[in-house]
Amino acid sequence: MQKSLYSLMLMDDVVRAIDRLALQQNTNRSNLVNQILAEYVSMMTPEKRVSNIFKSIEDLINQCGMNIVPYVSPNQMTMSLKSSLEYKYRPTIKYEVSMYRTPQQGTIGELNVVFRTQSEELIRAMTDFFRLWTGIESVYRHDVKISYALYDGRFTRSINICPDRNYTNEEVGDNISSYIQIFDKLVKGYVSGSYNSRDVEMIYLEYYNKGVGLI
Protein backbone atom coordinates (compact mmCIF):
# COMPACT_ATOMS: atom_id res chain seq x y z
CA MET A 1 0.00 0.00 0.00
CA GLN A 2 1.41 3.37 -1.02
CA LYS A 3 1.87 6.05 1.61
CA SER A 4 1.72 9.82 1.07
CA LEU A 5 2.34 12.89 3.21
CA TYR A 6 -0.74 14.64 4.64
CA SER A 7 -1.18 17.56 7.04
CA LEU A 8 -3.56 17.20 9.99
CA MET A 9 -4.57 19.63 12.73
CA LEU A 10 -4.60 17.68 16.01
CA MET A 11 -4.94 18.65 19.66
CA ASP A 12 -1.63 18.67 21.51
CA ASP A 13 -3.04 16.41 24.23
CA VAL A 14 -4.11 13.88 21.60
CA VAL A 15 -0.66 13.89 20.02
CA ARG A 16 1.02 13.39 23.41
CA ALA A 17 -1.27 10.44 24.13
CA ILE A 18 -0.56 8.98 20.68
CA ASP A 19 3.19 9.35 21.21
CA ARG A 20 3.01 7.57 24.59
CA LEU A 21 1.04 4.72 23.06
CA ALA A 22 3.38 4.53 20.06
CA LEU A 23 6.37 4.23 22.42
CA GLN A 24 4.64 1.44 24.35
CA GLN A 25 3.92 -0.42 21.10
CA ASN A 26 7.44 0.06 19.70
CA THR A 27 6.29 2.07 16.70
CA ASN A 28 6.09 5.71 15.62
CA ARG A 29 3.34 8.32 15.57
CA SER A 30 2.57 8.12 11.85
CA ASN A 31 2.34 4.34 11.83
CA LEU A 32 0.10 4.24 14.90
CA VAL A 33 -2.26 6.91 13.55
CA ASN A 34 -2.40 5.03 10.25
CA GLN A 35 -3.33 1.82 12.07
CA ILE A 36 -5.99 3.53 14.18
CA LEU A 37 -7.61 5.12 11.14
CA ALA A 38 -7.40 1.89 9.14
CA GLU A 39 -9.13 -0.05 11.92
CA TYR A 40 -11.82 2.64 12.16
CA VAL A 41 -12.68 2.27 8.47
CA SER A 42 -12.22 -1.54 8.58
CA MET A 43 -9.18 -1.59 6.29
CA MET A 44 -6.51 -4.27 6.59
CA THR A 45 -3.02 -2.76 6.66
CA PRO A 46 0.14 -4.84 6.04
CA GLU A 47 1.06 -4.36 9.71
CA LYS A 48 -2.34 -5.64 10.86
CA ARG A 49 -2.15 -8.58 8.45
CA VAL A 50 1.27 -9.58 9.79
CA SER A 51 0.11 -9.07 13.38
CA ASN A 52 -2.80 -11.45 12.78
CA ILE A 53 -0.48 -14.04 11.21
CA PHE A 54 1.95 -13.81 14.13
CA LYS A 55 -0.89 -14.09 16.64
CA SER A 56 -2.09 -17.25 14.90
CA ILE A 57 1.43 -18.72 14.94
CA GLU A 58 1.85 -17.84 18.62
CA ASP A 59 -1.46 -19.44 19.61
CA LEU A 60 -0.83 -22.63 17.65
CA ILE A 61 2.75 -23.03 18.89
CA ASN A 62 1.62 -22.55 22.49
CA GLN A 63 -0.92 -25.33 21.99
CA CYS A 64 1.49 -27.83 20.42
CA GLY A 65 3.39 -28.74 23.60
CA MET A 66 6.76 -29.09 21.81
CA ASN A 67 8.88 -26.80 24.00
CA ILE A 68 9.02 -24.12 21.32
CA VAL A 69 8.71 -20.65 22.84
CA PRO A 70 7.39 -17.82 20.62
CA TYR A 71 8.36 -14.17 21.09
CA VAL A 72 6.23 -11.50 19.44
CA SER A 73 6.75 -7.73 19.66
CA PRO A 74 3.91 -5.40 18.63
CA ASN A 75 4.13 -3.69 15.24
CA GLN A 76 7.13 -5.68 14.06
CA MET A 77 7.47 -7.57 10.78
CA THR A 78 9.56 -10.32 12.41
CA MET A 79 8.81 -12.75 15.22
CA SER A 80 11.12 -15.31 16.79
CA LEU A 81 10.68 -18.74 18.31
CA LYS A 82 13.24 -20.56 20.44
CA SER A 83 13.80 -24.25 20.93
CA SER A 84 16.53 -26.46 22.42
CA LEU A 85 18.28 -29.18 20.47
CA GLU A 86 18.37 -32.63 22.05
CA TYR A 87 22.16 -32.66 22.04
CA LYS A 88 24.56 -32.82 24.99
CA TYR A 89 24.47 -29.28 26.44
CA ARG A 90 21.08 -28.53 24.74
CA PRO A 91 22.14 -25.61 22.52
CA THR A 92 19.43 -23.17 21.47
CA ILE A 93 18.00 -23.02 17.99
CA LYS A 94 16.04 -19.93 16.97
CA TYR A 95 13.44 -19.58 14.23
CA GLU A 96 12.91 -16.08 12.86
CA VAL A 97 9.77 -15.51 10.77
CA SER A 98 10.04 -12.33 8.70
CA MET A 99 7.04 -11.21 6.65
CA TYR A 100 7.12 -8.84 3.68
CA ARG A 101 4.85 -5.81 3.57
CA THR A 102 4.07 -6.69 -0.05
CA PRO A 103 4.21 -10.31 -1.33
CA GLN A 104 6.64 -10.87 -4.19
CA GLN A 105 5.40 -13.37 -6.79
CA GLY A 106 4.03 -15.77 -4.23
CA THR A 107 6.82 -15.20 -1.71
CA ILE A 108 5.40 -13.59 1.44
CA GLY A 109 8.41 -13.73 3.72
CA GLU A 110 11.31 -15.87 4.87
CA LEU A 111 12.19 -18.26 7.66
CA ASN A 112 15.63 -18.05 9.23
CA VAL A 113 16.92 -20.93 11.35
CA VAL A 114 19.74 -19.66 13.55
CA PHE A 115 22.05 -21.68 15.80
CA ARG A 116 25.25 -20.83 17.63
CA THR A 117 27.75 -23.48 18.65
CA GLN A 118 31.50 -24.07 18.83
CA SER A 119 31.06 -27.82 18.36
CA GLU A 120 32.37 -28.89 14.95
CA GLU A 121 30.43 -32.14 15.27
CA LEU A 122 27.15 -30.28 15.77
CA ILE A 123 27.94 -27.83 12.96
CA ARG A 124 28.46 -30.77 10.60
CA ALA A 125 25.26 -32.45 11.75
CA MET A 126 23.21 -29.27 11.32
CA THR A 127 24.76 -28.55 7.92
CA ASP A 128 24.05 -32.11 6.80
CA PHE A 129 20.43 -31.75 7.91
CA PHE A 130 19.94 -28.44 6.10
CA ARG A 131 21.27 -29.98 2.88
CA LEU A 132 19.12 -33.07 3.38
CA TRP A 133 16.05 -30.92 3.98
CA THR A 134 16.70 -28.80 0.90
CA GLY A 135 17.15 -31.92 -1.21
CA ILE A 136 13.90 -33.45 0.05
CA GLU A 137 11.89 -30.31 -0.64
CA SER A 138 13.40 -29.94 -4.10
CA VAL A 139 11.95 -33.38 -4.92
CA TYR A 140 8.45 -32.92 -3.52
CA ARG A 141 7.73 -29.18 -3.76
CA HIS A 142 7.19 -28.45 -7.44
CA ASP A 143 4.20 -26.17 -6.82
CA VAL A 144 6.23 -23.22 -5.55
CA LYS A 145 9.65 -21.73 -6.23
CA ILE A 146 11.58 -21.92 -2.96
CA SER A 147 14.79 -19.98 -2.31
CA TYR A 148 17.43 -21.25 0.13
CA ALA A 149 20.64 -19.92 1.60
CA LEU A 150 23.09 -21.42 4.07
CA TYR A 151 25.50 -19.20 6.00
CA ASP A 152 27.62 -19.74 9.10
CA GLY A 153 25.06 -20.65 11.74
CA ARG A 154 22.06 -19.62 9.65
CA PHE A 155 19.75 -21.42 7.22
CA THR A 156 17.29 -19.28 5.26
CA ARG A 157 14.23 -20.44 3.34
CA SER A 158 11.59 -18.38 1.55
CA ILE A 159 7.97 -18.60 2.72
CA ASN A 160 5.76 -19.22 -0.27
CA ILE A 161 2.08 -19.55 -1.02
CA CYS A 162 0.28 -20.63 -4.17
CA PRO A 163 -0.41 -17.39 -6.09
CA ASP A 164 -3.67 -18.79 -7.47
CA ARG A 165 -5.26 -19.17 -4.05
CA ASN A 166 -6.49 -16.62 -1.52
CA TYR A 167 -5.27 -17.53 1.95
CA THR A 168 -6.68 -16.14 5.16
CA ASN A 169 -4.25 -14.83 7.75
CA GLU A 170 -5.16 -17.79 9.96
CA GLU A 171 -4.33 -20.26 7.17
CA VAL A 172 -0.95 -18.63 6.59
CA GLY A 173 -0.23 -18.70 10.32
CA ASP A 174 -1.32 -22.33 10.56
CA ASN A 175 0.92 -23.40 7.67
CA ILE A 176 3.97 -21.56 9.04
CA SER A 177 3.37 -22.92 12.54
CA SER A 178 3.00 -26.48 11.25
CA TYR A 179 6.13 -26.16 9.12
CA ILE A 180 8.21 -24.99 12.07
CA GLN A 181 6.89 -27.83 14.24
CA ILE A 182 7.74 -30.43 11.58
CA PHE A 183 11.19 -28.93 10.96
CA ASP A 184 11.92 -28.71 14.68
CA LYS A 185 10.88 -32.32 15.28
CA LEU A 186 13.00 -33.66 12.45
CA VAL A 187 16.13 -31.57 13.05
CA LYS A 188 16.12 -32.63 16.71
CA GLY A 189 15.65 -36.28 15.77
CA TYR A 190 18.41 -36.14 13.16
CA VAL A 191 20.96 -34.36 15.34
CA SER A 192 20.27 -36.68 18.31
CA GLY A 193 20.61 -39.77 16.10
CA SER A 194 17.00 -40.87 16.52
CA TYR A 195 16.32 -40.37 12.80
CA ASN A 196 18.48 -41.15 9.81
CA SER A 197 18.15 -39.56 6.37
CA ARG A 198 15.53 -42.07 5.26
CA ASP A 199 13.47 -41.52 8.41
CA VAL A 200 13.48 -37.76 7.83
CA GLU A 201 12.27 -38.17 4.25
CA MET A 202 9.52 -40.64 5.18
CA ILE A 203 8.19 -38.51 8.03
CA TYR A 204 8.32 -35.40 5.85
CA LEU A 205 6.43 -37.24 3.11
CA GLU A 206 3.80 -38.36 5.61
CA TYR A 207 3.10 -34.74 6.57
CA TYR A 208 3.32 -33.60 2.95
CA ASN A 209 0.67 -36.09 1.83
CA LYS A 210 -1.63 -34.72 4.51
CA GLY A 211 -1.06 -31.16 3.28
CA VAL A 212 0.44 -30.15 6.63
CA GLY A 213 2.97 -27.31 6.82
CA LEU A 214 3.05 -26.45 3.13
CA ILE A 215 4.77 -23.08 2.74
Specify the pLDDT at position 1: 63
d(CA 176, CA 160) in angstroms, rounded, equals 10
| pLDDT at position 60 | 93
Burial (CB count within 10 angstroms: exposed 0-12, middle 13-18, buried 19+), residue 90? exposed
The pLDDT mean for the chain works out to 88
The radius of gyration computed from the CA coordinates of the chain, to the nearest angstrom, equals: 20
Quick one: which of 147, 141, 153, 142 has its CA closest to 207? 141
pTM, rounded to two decimals: 0.83
pLDDT in tens, 27-43: 888 888 877 876 777 77
Residue 200 to residue 4: CA distance in whole angstroms: 49
- Asked if residues 122 and 91 have their Cβ atoms less than 8 Å apart, the reply is yes
The dihedrals phi and psi of 13, each to the nearest 5 degrees, come to -65, -35
In this predicted model, what pLDDT tens digit does every residue of 49-66 receive, in sequence order?
Answer: 899 999 999 999 999 877
| CA 54, 56, 57, 59 torsion-angle sign | positive
State the Cα–Cα distance between residues 187 and 94, nearest whole angstrom. 12
Residue 158 DSSP one-character state: E
**Fold that domain 46-209 belongs to in CATH:** Yope Regulator; Chain: A, (3.30.1460)
Could you give the C-alpha distances from 169 to 49, 52, 57, 128, 157, in angstroms and in order?
Answer: 7, 6, 10, 33, 20
The torsion of the CA quartet 169, 164, 107, 30, rounded to 10 degrees, works out to: -50
First-residue to last-residue Cα distance in the chain = 24
Q: How far is the C-alpha of 45 from the C-alpha of 60, rounded, in Å?
A: 23
Give tens-digit pLDDT for 56-92. Answer: 999 999 998 778 999 988 778 999 999 988 777 778 9
The answer to whether 68 touches 81, Cβ cutoff 8 Å, is yes
Residues paired with residue 148 on neighbouring β-strands, in sequence order: 157
pLDDT (0 to 100) of residue 54: 95
The pLDDT assigned to 15 comes to 85
Q: Which residues of the chain have pLDDT under 50?
A: none
Contact 58, 69 (CB under 8 A): no
